[in-house]
Every structure is written in structure tokens, then in C-alpha cells.
DNA sequence: GTCACAGATGAAAGATATTTTCGGTTCGGT
DNA sequence: ACCGAACCGAAAATATCTTTCATCTGTGAC
């Protein structure tokens, strides 16, 4: 009946597997082979020397080291250490795993379970991969901003609106733009002390990059929320917040998991800003709550 | 406030600490110093090279290696790997100490962890509480609908738009309405064979109930997605999908968790409908993907 | 189709880290 | 004080990791 879907917090290997997925597109073929090997069997790889791993993946030592660097470690030695830790974690925490994709003939109960599980996974990965330094910088900029513009189209457009709505609720001046022309028109008005935020999973959505570029060139502080930290949008971003990229299937397109991931980042931004501006945010939140109360019919028992 | 994280010398670190205690008598003075350092701070020592650890303990590399051997490892390299694993385990052991609400003075890292955790919780609760019978009925209605209207205002409005976007992608005719007047105007057009969906957390949002009532009275199949299964909105709903209502705090208003919950329900609806109409849904999904491809700049390596 | 170029790749040289060797030192017993 | 045994660390030897650089491969321009 109701499957047990709790206890999935912080999937052991999630952090690294997610990193591999996020970075895979920016990797070369051989590096991908190495990354895959490492993600699939952290423990096994931890037991290998550079040379061993190079042979196993049919590449060279140099490539292994390059991959380690790309994954954020100073060198192979450190990757290996991290791998050992990961393996130990996996060992201790049982790895349940509903690995199967959602199939066309899955009963609805399974669909619910799998979707919930995958979204939980996405959240854990995102939280693990979020750079709190960058987040802090973005929060600081937002908290002190004269005004804030948020750009996003398609599914990301809704996330952009969500963020703008939230910021408005704590007394900030924020606006979301889905229309690329209006977005650029508005971006021209920004200047130092303003903040512009672009939300795009692929990081290559021209309609979103353009207004961010304009804002950037006019001196605004710019933030990019993207799943591809090496994508074009980051060129014009002072701060980059990375969302996780999870496995996608035909019935669960990327748009779905990227939205979950983006919303978590947006929530973090919101709470961060609310903390920093607590003096003004708290009364503003209360006020907006009050203002909406009369839109609700009296609630029956 | 930061949770108390007492060092519970449990099973994970016990193995090594115990070994040290057992073997200590048979160790020479310098080796004891090394063993002690390793037992006290596995993580810290894992970060050191032989030379580093030798200096730290005021001994030599040879002694460190000898100690490693005595502890049962082939050499220092392997001890170091084990140490890293141990540290990771200890680390993960203290993780689930996130029972507290988000506080104003929480560091950002905690905010991220807590938010992710709470949203995961919300997802699990929603999945557990979702009535698959009602869901199936709603999916059936959607799959066969001539057209579908989705109503939602405020935060729920974004969810409504998300659902409409998704349904459009698989070739259905769907529209989201945030403007209550336009929503009612549109609802009047609905008739048997059409579907109207109202999304409201409180279930008492007049602006959303009204169009649903009109749709209901005109013979459309009506669905309510709400956190209050006993609220006014359900009066006019043929099928009720319940979202979970989780604890809210000042810094994490209800709107935030209800959104997560609503989106999961919406995703389930979407996937359910996509399954039932797979023949037409799959090509439609592919087509919409294709159509958007050219909006993305080519990605750099 | 060919050419030129940028980037990817691996072999080997170079730098570090680990292990072993070996001689000096300490300490207890006589 | 002397002897022997165990302890210890400096430095050589080895293994491992990192960097460099020449070659190769795929891509786009013409």
C-alpha cells in the first residue's frame, strides 16, 4: 500500500554521483569513463593507484588526474581519500535504491512512490552540491539590493516568479520577467547596487542570458542559478548557484527534476535574505499574511 | 541553535580506538604517540602525509609506518585510507540532528540542510497520504478531457501554471487561470467532458472556489488539490487530492511546503496522464523538446 | 574533399610521498 | 663501566602522483 519512502535523506553516494552527473557534460570521453568508474564503485577505485585506475578505464594517469581536478579535488590522492570515505558511508548506511525508471505500465501507486523518491534524491543532491559561499554572497547582494530582477522562461519562469513573489513578501522590490524583450528593456535600467538573477537549467537559454548580460554590463550584481556551472550564462554571473542534474527518463523529463532543484535554491535564498533582514522581513511577512486573510472564506471545523 | 553533538564513541570509531587500546601495551613510546594521535583525530590525520604525521607526533616517518603495520595495515597509505573512511562515518553519524526549526541565527549551511530535509519530509508525507484511487480517477478524467482549466492564485497559481504547461507538452488542451474574473468567465464555457482543477492549500480561497463551482455546475469533472480535505473547495470537487500540511515556522511559511507538496501531486497527475495517453504523449513530448532546442546557444565544451 | 586548428590524449620526465635500510642511541642488566 | 637488545630516525630506495609536451583526433572553414 503506502510504501516507505522516508529515511532517504542524504543518500550516501549521492553527493559524488550528482557531481559526476553535473560535470559529465563538460567532460571529454576518457574523463567520462574515469568519472563513471569512480561513481559506480567508489570503494573499488579507492583501492587503486592512479596507474591502476588508468589501466582499468583504459586511459592514462594524466587523464585520471585531470578528472580528479575537475571533480574538485587538488589531485588524485585527495579524490582517493574522498572515495574511501564515501565507500565507508555506503557500507554503513544501507543502500535501498529504487533504481528503476518509471515505466509506461507502472501502476499509479508505484508512480507516486518513485516520483517522491526521485525528488527527494534531487533535493539531497542539490543540498550537497550547493556552494554556501556563493549562496552567502548572493544573499548578501539581495539583502542590500535597491531592486532585484529575476529572469526565467518556460519552467524556470515559474521558479523566477516564485522567487520574486517571496522577495516581495519580505518587503524587497523584486520583479520576475518571462518576456525576453521586456526583460532586456528592464535590465538596462539596472545599475550598481541592483541585483539580477537568471534561472536556466541548461545555462544556454539565450532569452535569459541576454538580460543578464545587459544587467552585468550596467554594473548590477548578477547571479545565475543553473545546472551547468560551465555554461555560457556563467560568463555574466558574479555568483553561480548550481542545481543538481539528476537522471532523467522519457516520462520524467529534465524539466521536472530541475524545477525541484531550482526551487530549493530559491528557498535557500529566500530564507537567507529573510534572516539577514529579519527586522524588516518579519513584520512584512506578517503584514502580507494579514492582507490575504480576508480572501479566505471562514474555515469550517 | 546548534544541536549538541556529543562524541558518542560508538561502533564506527570503536574498532580503531579499541585496537589502539589493545595494542598500546605492546607499543613503544613513540608508536603510542602516533597511535594516540590517530585514534583521537582520524579525520585530521587522514589529511596528513607520513612526514606530516611524523612531525605532528614528534617522531619519524619510519615510526609512523611501523605503527600502521602494527595496527594491521600493509603500510601508512592504507591506514590513511581507512582513517578517511572512519572520519566520513563519524561525520555522517552526526548528520540526523536536524529536529529544530530554522532559526534567525542559523548559518547558511544549516539553512540549506534543514530546508532540504523538511522538503524531503513533505514529499514523503504527501506520497504516503495521497489516495491513489482519487488520483486514478483524476488521471482518467484528464486523459479523456476535451479541455482542462486549472485555477490557482498566489503561490498555488504557479503550480497551476506548471500543470497547464506540462499538459500542453503532451498534447492536451489546458489553460491556467490566475485572474479570478477571467477564470469564472472561462468556467462558464465548460461542460461535461471537460475538466476543471482547483489548487488551493487552505481550500478556502474564494477566488479559486468560485470558478470551480461554476465548472461543477456546468457539468465539468472537477478536481481539487488541497491540504484541507474538509474545506469548502471540496464541496464542488468530484475528486479530491490531498496535499500534506507540514509544520511551518516563521521563516518557513506554509506556502513553501504546500508548494512542494502540490508540485508532487501535479507531477503524479502528469506522469499518470502521460502513461495513459502514451501513444500521443511521447511524440508530443519529443516535438516540444525539438522545438525548444534552437532557443539554446550551442554549448561550449 | 582537404586543410588548418583547437582540443584531447598518453608517454615519459619530474616531483612527492612512502617504504626500507642501516647505523646511532638509549636503557636495563650484569 | 660494559654488553646486548630493542628503539629510533636520517637518508637511500622505491612507489606513487603530477606535470610536460609531442602526438593524435575530431571539427569547422574553405
Q: Which of A170, A145, A140, A159 is nearest to A272 (CA)?
A: A140
Which one-letter DSSP state was computed for residue A220?
-
Residue A286: partners with Cβ closer than 8 Å, 6 or more residues away: none
In terms of CA atoms, which chain B residue is nearest residue A84?
B85
Chain B residues in contact with A66 by the CB 8 A cut-off are: none
The upper half-sphere exposure of residue B227, i.e. CA atoms within 13 Å in the direction of its Cβ, equals 24
Residue B174's pLDDT is 94
**Closest to B199 (Cα-Cα) out of B189, B191, B214, B209:** B209
Identify the closest residue of chain B to A90 by CA–CA distance: B89
pLDDT of amino acid A230: 81
Beta pairing class for A195-200 and B221-226: unpaired
Confidence of residue B39 (pLDDT cuts 50, 70, 90): confident
pLDDT at A96: 52
pLDDT tens, residue by residue, B69-82: 888 888 899 999 98
User: Residue B43 and residue B32: Cα distance in Å, rounded?
Assistant: 18
CB A220 within 8 Å of CB A191: yes
Residue A175: in which H helix or E strand, if any?
A: strand A174-177
Mean pLDDT across the stretch B219-245? 90
Read off the pTM: 0.77
Q: What is the pLDDT at residue A40?
A: 84
Given B84, B124, B162, which is nearest A85 (Cβ)? B84
CA distance A298 to B121: 29
Sorted by sequence, the CB contacts under 8 Å of residue B181 that are 6+ apart come out as: none
- What value does the mean pLDDT of chain A take? 83
Cell numbers standing for residue A244: 543538481
Identify from B79, B90, B116 which residue to disrupt to test chain A contact, counting A C-beta atoms within 10 A and taking the largest count. Answer: B116
> How do residues B110-166 score in pLDDT, each as one tens digit?
889 888 988 888 899 899 889 999 999 999 999 989 999 999 998 899 999 999 999
Residue bearing cell 521563516: B251
* Arithmetic mean of pLDDT over chain B: 82
Helix (H) / strand (E) containing A108: helix A108-129
A122-132 as b/e, with b when 16 or more CB fall inside 10 Å? Answer: bbbbbbbbbeb
Instruction: Evaluate if the CB of B8 falls below 7 Å from strand D.
Output: no
For residue A72, the 8-state DSSP code is T
Partners of B102 in beta bridges: none
What value, to the nearest 5°, has the Cα angle with vertex B126 and ends B121 and B128? 95
Whether residue A1 has pLDDT greater than 60: no
Give the model's pLDDT for residue B4.
Answer: 39
> For residue B55, what pLDDT band results from cuts at 50, 70 and 90?
confident
CA distance B301 to A230: 8
Please choose, from the candidates B162, B206, B166, the residue with its C-alpha nearest in 3D space to the C-alpha of residue B184.
B206
Closest-CA distance of chain A to residue B7, Å:
18
Helical residues (DSSP H) of chain B, grouped into ranges: 11-23, 29-40, 42-46, 50-56, 61-70, 76-93, 108-129, 132-143, 155-169, 180-187, 206-217, 254-276, 278-293
Q: What would the grid cell of residue B111 be?
A: 539553512
* pLDDT per residue as tens digits for the range A193-237: 999 999 998 888 889 999 999 999 999 999 999 988 888 888 899
CA triple B198-B201-B207, angle to 5 deg: 50
State yes or no: pLDDT of B14 exceeds 80. Answer: no
In the three-class reduction of DSSP (H, G, I as helix; E, B as strand; rest coil), residue A226 is classed as: strand
Q: What pLDDT, on the 0 to 100 scale, is given for residue B240?
A: 94
Q: What is the pLDDT of residue A2?
A: 36
Average pLDDT score over residue span A268-277? 92
Specify the 3-state DSSP secondary structure of A109. helix
Residues 49-108 of A with CB under 7 A from strand C: 58-63, 66, 77
Find out whether A116 and B127 touch, Cβ atoms under 8 Å.
yes
B-chain residues near A116 (CB < 8 A): 123-124, 126-127, 264
Cell readout for A160 is: 523566477
Is pLDDT of A116 > 50? yes
Which pLDDT band holds residue A76 (cuts at 50, 70, 90)? Answer: very high
Cα gap A27→B266, rounded to integer Å: 34
Strand A195-200 with A148-151, pairing: parallel
Neighbours of A221 (CB within 10 A): 24
Q: What pLDDT is recorded for position A87?
A: 81
Segment B171-197 mean pLDDT: 91
Minimum-distance CB partner of A111 among B230, B271, B300: B271
Q: What is the pLDDT of residue B16?
A: 73
Q: What are phi and psi of A21, to 5 degrees?
A: -60, -45
A241: phi then psi, degrees, rounded to nearest 5 = -110, 120
* Rounded percentage of chain A residues whose pLDDT exceeds 90: 42
Amino acid at each position: 500500500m503506502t510504501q516507505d519512502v522516508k529515511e532517504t535523506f542524504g543518500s550516501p553516494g549521492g553527493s559524488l554521483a550528482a557531481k559526476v552527473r553535473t560535470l559529465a557534460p563538460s567532460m571529454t570521453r576518457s574523463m567520462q569513463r574515469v568519472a563513471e568508474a569512480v561513481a559506480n564503485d567508489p570503494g573499488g577505485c579507492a583501492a587503486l593507484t592512479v596507474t591502476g585506475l588508468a589501466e582499468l578505464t583504459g586511459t592514462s594517469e594524466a587523464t585520471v588526474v585531470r578528472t580528479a581536478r575537475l571533480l574538485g579535488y587538488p589531485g588524485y590522492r585527495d579524490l582517493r581519500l574522498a572515495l574511501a570515505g564515501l565507500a565507508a558511508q555506503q557500507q554503513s548506511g544501507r543502500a535501498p535504491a529504487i533504481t528503476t525508471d518509471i515505466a509506461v505500465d507502472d501502476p499509479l501507486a508505484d508512480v507516486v512512490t518513485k516520483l517522491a523518491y526521485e525528488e527527494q534524491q534531487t533535493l539531497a543532491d542539490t543540498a550537497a552540491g550547493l556552494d554556501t559561499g556563493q549562496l552567502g554572497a548572493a544573499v548578501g547582494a539581495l539583502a542590500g539590493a535597491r531592486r532585484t530582477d529575476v529572469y526565467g522562461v518556460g519552467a524556470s519562469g515559474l521558479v523566477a516568479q516564485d522567487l520574486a513573489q517571496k522577495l516581495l513578501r519580505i518587503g524587497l522590490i523584486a520583479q520576475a520577467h518571462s518576456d525576453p524583450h521586456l526583460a532586456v528593456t528592464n535590465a538596462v535600467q539596472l545599475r550598481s547596487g541592483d541585483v539580477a538573477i537568471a534561472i536556466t537549467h541548461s545555462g544556454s537559454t539565450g532569452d535569459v542570458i541576454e538580460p543578464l548580460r545587459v544587467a552585468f554590463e550596467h554594473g548590477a550584481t548578477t547571479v545565475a542559478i543553473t545546472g551547468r556551472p560551465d555554461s555560457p550564462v556563467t560568463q555574466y554571473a558574479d555568483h553561480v548557484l548550481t542545481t543538481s542534474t539528476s537522471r532523467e527518463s522519457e516520462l520524467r523529463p529534465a524539466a521536472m527534476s530541475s524545477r525541484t532543484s531550482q526551487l530549493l535554491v530559491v528557498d535557500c535564498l529566500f530564507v537567507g535574505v529573510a534572516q539577514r533582514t529579519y527586522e524588516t522581513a518579519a513584520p512584512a511577512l506578517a503584514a502580507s499574511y494579514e492582507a490575504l486573510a480576508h480572501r479566505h472564506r471562514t474555515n469550517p471545523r
